Amino acid sequence: MKAVILLSGGLDSSTVLYQARADGCECYAISFDYQQRHQRELQSARLIAQAFGVAKHQVVNFDLRLWGGSALTDNAIALPQERSLDEMSQNIPVTYVPARNTIFLSFALGYAETIGAQRVYIGVNALDYSGYPDCRLDYIQAMQEVFRLGTKQGREGQPIAIVAPLINLKKTEIIQLGNQLGVPWELTWSCYAGGDVACGVCDSCRLRLAAFAELGLNDLVPYA
């Protein structure tokens, strides 16, 4: 069974890649260079894909800085720093990139149908404190209907399935799953800041560090 895996190079997407293999899939990874602030994640995506031995890894290039709207695509918008988990949970943060997962899934769908894949894996998580609207179950269910209605495969009764194995897991549970699957955490990247060393203070770093600490584990990624 062929599967397309959305691979950012982060903790979640890397776990999903390894889960897809555990599910018996032949894995085709797709990453996105959308001129994001944290371009460093693409290096990790390539390293993860190489270490894993994917059937093929493609990087799609486009520029979401054209309209900005997010701290990840507009350097004039400051990244939140040093926020508590309670603060993170209150509102959708400025690191939300408008329609990003819809764009990503559209590329993945086109790729999947072209190669005859049966599944698209995505590492969305509804329990993250960020609460991004395009990481929630109702969104994934709606996109599944788009996959069915908008493709030849779907109209012929063989819709490509969206698989989101982490959607109801806590970050600690994702790390535990990744440990079982053998994910090399030292190759992954979660920081939003865009440096060569993880900042340790952006929301993504703080979520990651808190989860490793809760489990009594060391995060092997270097931090400033």
Question: Which amino acid does the sequence have at 30?
Answer: I
Cα dihedral across residues 139, 13, 37, 127: positive or negative: positive
Quote the CA–CA distance of 124 and 132 in Å, as a whole number. Answer: 9
Q: What percent of the chain has pLDDT over 70?
A: 100
Mean pLDDT of 159-168: 97
3 state SS of 119: strand
Q: Are 29 and 121 in contact (CB under 8 A)?
A: no
Here the tokens at position 193 are 């800041």
Adjacent-strand bridge partners of 5: 29, 121
User: What end-to-end distance do the CA atoms of the chain give, in Å?
Assistant: 42
The domains of the chain, with CATH numbers, are 2-214 (3.40.50.620)
Res 129 pLDDT > 80: no
CA triplet 6, 7, 8: central angle to 5 degrees?
120
Higher-confidence residue of 92 and 160: namely 160
Q: Are 112 and 127 in contact (CB under 8 A)?
A: no
pTM over 0.85: yes
pLDDT tens-digit map of 45-90 = 999 999 999 999 999 999 999 999 999 999 999 999 998 878 888 8
User: What per-residue confidence (pLDDT) applies to 131?
Assistant: 79
